[in-house]
Amino acid sequence: MENKEINLEMIPFSIEDLKNELGEERFRHTQAVLEAAISLSEQLSIDLKKAKAAALLHDIAKNKTAAEMKALIADSDWQVDQLELSILPVLHAPAGAVIAEKKYKIKDREILEAIRFHTLGHPQMGKLAQLIYTADFIAEGRDFEGIDQLREAVKLDFKRGLYLIVSRVIEYQLKQDNFIHPYSNNLRNKLIKEK
Ligand SMILES: [Fe+2]
Ligand SMILES: [Fe+2]
């Protein structure tokens, strides 16, 4: 229940600053994730202000180089294992959590956790983190086969939708001969157990 008072007005940055940092295209994606997060926060009865803050900052590290992201992570308390460090497309999540805390002064652990785990997921991720992970995947602008069914599934039964998304991510990585990080696999296993 920490930082209950947090709201968008208290975050020390303007939408213009964010737009400049993210660039036009990423800002458009961020806006789409924000919209998806707003509607999910109603569906799941999750604090709207926290959902907004996490959505706005989730990709804040995307323009950083691999070296910059690794340096940010090394200088933080987040545990990032060797496997995760070797998967460059996911590193903007822990690096983003560091930027959100240090530059944007976010103290709320749930918001930071939502940013930190939005790429790999995590079996212990909380509801806000699950919301952001899902919003990122189904946001407007995402276009792949089956996206509409996934959006529908999330609306009908959030946990089932989340399960389908994690399964979909793992399936994709398998097809690409990529690593499957245990966080993703363990999240999927946990969602099966909870069914
Ligand atoms: Fe991302
Ligand atoms: Fe994203």
| Domain at 92, CATH number | 1.10.3210.10
Domain membership of residue 45 (yes or no) is yes
Residues near ion ligand 2 (Cβ under 5 Å): 59, 136
Closest listed ligand to the CA of 134: 2
Domain with 49 in it: 8-144
Closest listed ligand to the CA of 140: 2
Q: How far is CA 187 from CA 115, 181, 193, in A?
A: 16, 10, 10
Closest listed ligand to the CA of 26: 2
Domain membership of residue 67 (yes or no) is yes
pLDDT at 195: 87
Q: What are 67-76's pLDDT values in tens digits?
A: 999 999 999 9
Dist. CA 189 → ligand 1 center (Å):
22
Confidence of residue 186 (pLDDT cuts 50, 70, 90): very high
Domain membership of residue 177 (yes or no) is no
CB atoms within 10 A of CB 22: 20
Name the nearest CA neighbour of 36 among 191, 117, 147, 125.
Answer: 147
One DSSP character per residue, 179-191 reads ---HHHHHHHHHH
Residues near ion ligand 1 (Cβ under 5 Å): 59
Least confident piece of the model among 9-18, 130-139, 186-195: 9-18
How many structural domains are present in the chain?
Answer: 1
pLDDT at 9: 56
